[in-house]
Amino acid sequence: MEPIVDIWGYVSHLEKGKYFLNDHIIRNEIIESVYRNSEGTYDQTLIPTSKKNVYLIIIVKTDERRVFGHYLLDLNKEYGVHEN
């Protein structure tokens, strides 16, 4: 899938520690997956973090070709998984 917008400028302004990002992830522009909604109006880009099962989600509004926002998805918390 061709990128709608370059998200990495946006990501580079986020607080690394708060979102479990490290230089390797940012420098190599690592993306786990991109999901587009059924109307094709939003993409959710999953960026892996240094914490297992935690992703930084960047939301892109495709028709406006801009980053709409972001949130931290912690699958451990969502599904009650406890790291050992």
- Hey, which bits of the chain come out as E strands? 33-36, 42-48, 54-61, 66-74
- The 10s digit of each residue's pLDDT in 68-77 is 999 999 999 9
Domain ranges of the chain: 8-79
- The 10s digit of each residue's pLDDT in 30-66 is 999 999 999 999 999 999 999 999 999 999 999 999 9
Strand order in the sheet with 66-74: 33-36, 42-48, 54-61, 66-74
CB atoms within 10 A of CB 63: 10
